[in-house]
Amino acid sequence: MNISRREFLQMLAVASASGISLPACESSNAAKKSTSPYELPAFGNVSLMHYTDCHAQLMPIYFREPSINLGIGSMKGKPPHLVGDKFLSYYGIKPGSRDAHALTYLNFVEAARQLGQVGGFAHLSTLVKNIRAQRPGSLLLDGGDTWQGSGTSYWTDAQDMVDAQKLLGVDVMTAHWEMTFGAERVKEIIEKDFKGHIDFVAQNIIDNEWGEPVFPPYVIKDINGVPTAIIGQAFPYTPIANPRYMVPDWSFGIRDDRMQQMVDEARGKGAQVIIVLSHNGMDVDLKMASRVTGIDAIMGGHTHDAIPRPVEVKNAGGTTLVSNAGSNSKFLSVLDLDVKNGKVRDYRYHLLPVFSNLLEADKEMSAYIDKVRAPYMDKLGEQLAVTDELLYRRGNFNGTFDQIICDALMEVQGAPISLSPGFRWGVSVMPGEAISFEHVMTQTSITYPSVTLNNLSGTRIKEILEDVADNLFNPDPYYQQGGDMVRVGGLKYSIDPAAKIGSRISDMELDGKPLDAKAEYPVAGWASVAQPLDGRPVWDVVAEYLRDIKTVKHVELNQPVIKGASDNPGFSATT
Amino acid sequence: MIDMKRRTFLKGSVAAGAISAAMGAGLLTPRMVLAAWPTAAFEAKTVDSALDALMGSHQLEGSDKISIRAPDIAENGAVVPISVETSIANPESISIIAEKNASPMTASFLLGTGAQGFVSTRIKMGKTSSVIAVVKADGKLYSTGKEVKVTIGGCGG
């Protein structure tokens, strides 16, 4: 179904009449505010739509943004490392507004009750069609982390998302978690499903043996007569953050030098606009933009930062815009470029929150989603327990849903300590809501889900915490991997994020006693990247725990003592 | 994807190499091939003693005419790809040192007269360390370094 522009406007008119205010996340240099956030003022001749890190969320969801997102060193207080009020004042967004709810954790529960869910491919699809109608010839870019993150994507081996991407009209994509379906499956999808529909680009994936490119590095598309190159940048640390055995023949990495070559090559072939579709993570995007010249915009993802205005990064060749567009199908960004005489002269940028109540579900996409979910509805719908408290994941150190996972691992596995990865995907569950098996899958659905139980020495546990902390807080973004701190059950500790590796973690205690460096402690965990395991999948362990406790009354969040962060604009004491 | 013609060609050229062929036939052991193997340098436990054993000196002069290509974070500590390129005139040798390895000297290439100052290899790294490239030219030692991180992995995005 293709809703007409008139129908769309009528629908918005109904929304306004019912008293819902609709400010858009517009860049401050936008010419003039239109009456609705989804009706954008015309600008330029080249438009790109971008969504990223949807993590296979086909259905509308709740997603609470972080209250702790620390920037260290030169990154302190700069986008994306701003939370809550600091975020709002930096971008001049009115507290209590719709945008404030979309972009920050402030007053989350109350605002979410009032404004409803976000995202969902059927609602996203309506928005994409509408922007396409407003901006003929525009491209839709998918930044990756699309195939992984739900029960249905796991059970269908990513087929549900592949078909949804095609239906949504994705033109170009790059990747990260896609790789965890294995190299063979990735190639199969690209060669069979994507052929003639979606260009899969990645300049930084190189064959291990010969150093040759595995995928096309870029594609040049004609947008209203303007040759526009889209260069792919896959997540540089995929074989480190995820199992290397799944992509044994491919090497990744940042590869600035090759990026520069590809930019120059595409320009040489006549490209007038160069866009990098990136899964670097925003700090890495910003550094890359300062080093590589000739890129007009890096449209990024991975770190799940929803940033309402691009950062203009100066480099030796001019200025490169860096935008990041959030996660979980919660946002669609639109970049409009005014290109004349082979050069980008000006731009407008809009980060549009996808409010499910304001965008009618696209019928064709809805029907598709219903069909693809039908065989799994019983399983997905099982109500495991009811929560009295908001459950969420996102934040540098811990989230209430992660605490439940940590508690489940300790309880079911019989261990005094548990470790759970600091993933940034996973939806929020509202107070009073039933926690369904589907919710648990949004937090745990990976292709290496086995739970583990290992005896680790105090020294080894400290090494692990130090290692992960350095991946998050290294002052050089090129040494960061982009996840959050490993979630810890049972063990107490302090962390000084600004310290060097080896001295960030201190005061490690278990049951009120200092951790003994030499003693061994049973540690429960999951998502081991070392080798394939046959253990029980973590979602079964969490489901068993929730069925048993029936009600989540109060989650005792095991948060480390965070040193030196109280004045950091990426820190809020509110949990 | 992989250029099969090139692969075949390279396989052929390796097989045709006299030393490889002799080794393949069991005629030579690696120790015999590397008759002048500088054991002391490759078993030395510190950077200075390794350089002393190999070059007779550990006086390094920093140079911006040497570039190291190496990953910022190693994908696999057991095989870390390293390339070193130098524009210093008449390089006699290029050595690669992983500072924190138990035996830091990982490789040293002797270059013939007129050889281009470029080498590429894979080294093993036990932990995060500075990788130092040392170029010997005109009796002097020039160097530059780059940090390569070796991490336990997991827990990403």
Q: Are residues A386 and A455 in the same domain?
A: yes
Distance from CA of B90 to the nearest CA of A (A): 26
* pLDDT of the residue at A4: 52
Structure tokens at B67: 């570039």
Q: Are residues A269 and A388 in the same domain?
A: no
Reading phi first (left if > 0) and then psi (alpha if -120 to 50, else beta), residue B139 is in left
| Dist. CA A416–CA A458, nearest whole Å | 13
List the one residue out of A225, A159, A222 whose CA is nearest residue A192.
Answer: A159
Indicate yes or no: CB of A253 within 8 angstroms of CB of B72. Answer: yes
Q: Are residues A355 and A398 in the same domain?
A: no
Task: Give the rounded distance of the alpha carbon of A31 from its chain centre.
Answer: 29
Report if residue A174 sits inside a domain.
Answer: yes
Enumerate the residues of chain B whose CB falls inside 8 A of the CB of residue A483. Answer: 155-157
Indicate yes or no: CB of B157 within 8 angstroms of CB of A241. Answer: yes
Contact A70, A565 (CB under 8 A): yes
Q: Which residues pair with A510 in a beta bridge?
A: A513
| Dist. CA A340–CA B72, nearest whole Å | 39
**3-state secondary structure at position A488:** strand
| Dist. CA A507–CA A495, nearest whole Å | 9
Of B2, B149, B154, which has the smallest distance from its Cβ to A212's Cβ? Answer: B2
Domain-ending residue, one of A317, A347, A369: A369
Indicate yes or no: CB of B72 within 8 angstroms of CB of A482. Answer: no
Sequential DSSP letters for A103-167: H--TTHHHHHHHH--B--HHHHHHHHHHHHHHSTT-EEEE-S--S-SSHHHHHTTTHHHHHHHHH
Structure tokens at B21: 């062929």
Q: Does A232 lie at the interface with B, CB-CB under 8 angstroms?
A: no
Report if residue A105 sits inside a domain.
Answer: no
Contact A63, A395 (CB under 8 A): no
> Domains plus CATH for chain B?
1-37 (no CATH), 40-148 (2.60.40.2470)
Residue range of the domain that includes A553: 382-562
Structure tokens at B72: 């910022």
Interface of A with B in 498-517 (CB under 8 A): 501
Peptide bond into A80 cis (omega under 30): yes
Q: Are residues A359 and A505 in the same domain?
A: no
> From first to last of its 575 residues, what are the pLDDT tens digits of chain A?
444 555 555 554 444 444 444 444 444 444 444 458 899 999 999 999 999 999 999 999 999 999 999 999 999 999 999 999 999 999 999 999 999 999 999 999 999 999 999 999 999 999 999 999 999 999 999 999 999 999 999 999 999 999 999 999 999 999 999 999 999 999 999 999 999 999 999 999 999 988 899 999 999 999 999 999 999 999 999 999 999 999 999 999 999 999 999 999 999 999 999 999 999 999 999 999 999 999 999 999 999 999 999 999 999 999 999 999 999 999 999 999 999 999 999 999 999 999 999 999 999 999 999 999 999 999 999 999 999 999 999 999 999 999 999 999 999 999 999 999 999 999 999 999 999 999 999 999 999 999 999 999 999 999 999 999 999 999 999 999 879 999 999 999 999 999 999 999 999 999 999 999 999 999 999 999 988 898 999 999 999 999 999 999 999 999 999 999 999 999 998 75
List the one residue out of A243, A246, A221 whose CA is nearest residue A232.
Answer: A221
**3-state secondary structure at position A452:** strand
Q: Are residues A210 and A306 in the same domain?
A: yes
Indicate yes or no: CB of B73 within 8 angstroms of CB of A481. Answer: yes
Q: Are residues A286 and A423 in the same domain?
A: no
Report if residue A81 sits inside a domain.
Answer: no
Indicate yes or no: CB of A241 within 8 angstroms of CB of B156. Answer: yes
> Residue holding tokens 């290992």?
A454
Q: Are residues A232 and A308 in the same domain?
A: yes
Q: Per the structure, how many domains does chain A have?
A: 2
Instruction: Give the CATH number for residue A477.
Output: 3.90.780.10
Domain-ending residue, one of A339, A369, A399: A369
> Residue holding tokens 């590095």?
A217
Beta strand extents in chain B (DSSP E only): 60-62, 66-69, 80-86, 91-98, 105-110, 118-123, 129-137, 140-148
> From first to last of its 157 residues, what are the pLDDT tens digits of chain B?
444 444 444 443 333 333 333 444 444 444 444 556 788 999 999 999 999 999 999 999 999 999 999 999 999 999 999 999 999 999 999 999 999 999 999 999 999 988 999 999 999 998 999 999 999 999 999 999 999 999 887 754 4
Q: Are residues A356 and A412 in the same domain?
A: no
| Dist. CA B56–CA A182, nearest whole Å | 50
Distance from CA of B75 to the nearest CA of A (A): 6
Q: Are residues A412 and A542 in the same domain?
A: yes
Q: Are residues A197 and A342 in the same domain?
A: yes
Indicate yes or no: CB of B75 within 8 angstroms of CB of A239. Answer: yes
Domain-ending residue, one of A369, A390, A422: A369
Report if residue A374 sits inside a domain.
Answer: no
| Dist. CA A193–CA B64, nearest whole Å | 48
What pTM, to 2 d.p., does this model score? 0.90
* pLDDT of the residue at A35: 59
Of A252, A257, A424, which has the smallest distance from its Cβ to B157's Cβ? Answer: A424
| Dist. CA A165–CA A156, nearest whole Å | 14
Report if residue A25 sits inside a domain.
Answer: no
Instruction: Give the CATH number for residue A353.
Output: 3.60.21.10
Q: Does A452 lie at the interface with B, CB-CB under 8 angstroms?
A: no
Residue of B nearest to A395 (CA): B157
Of B73, B81, B152, which has the smallest distance from its Cβ to A479's Cβ? Answer: B73
Enumerate the residues of chain B whose CB falls inside 8 A of the CB of residue A482. Answer: 156-157
- What b-and-e string marks burial along A304-332, b requiring 16 or more CB atoms within 10 Å of the CB? bbbbbbbbebeeeeeebbbbbbbbbbbbb
| Dist. CA A392–CA B112, nearest whole Å | 63
List the one residue out of A83, A30, A558 whose CA is nearest residue A306.
Answer: A83
* pLDDT of the residue at A15: 45
Contact B107, B50 (CB under 8 A): no
Q: Are residues A188 and A255 in the same domain?
A: yes
Please compute, for residue B15, the number of CA atoms within 13 A of its CA located in the half-sphere on the CB side.
6
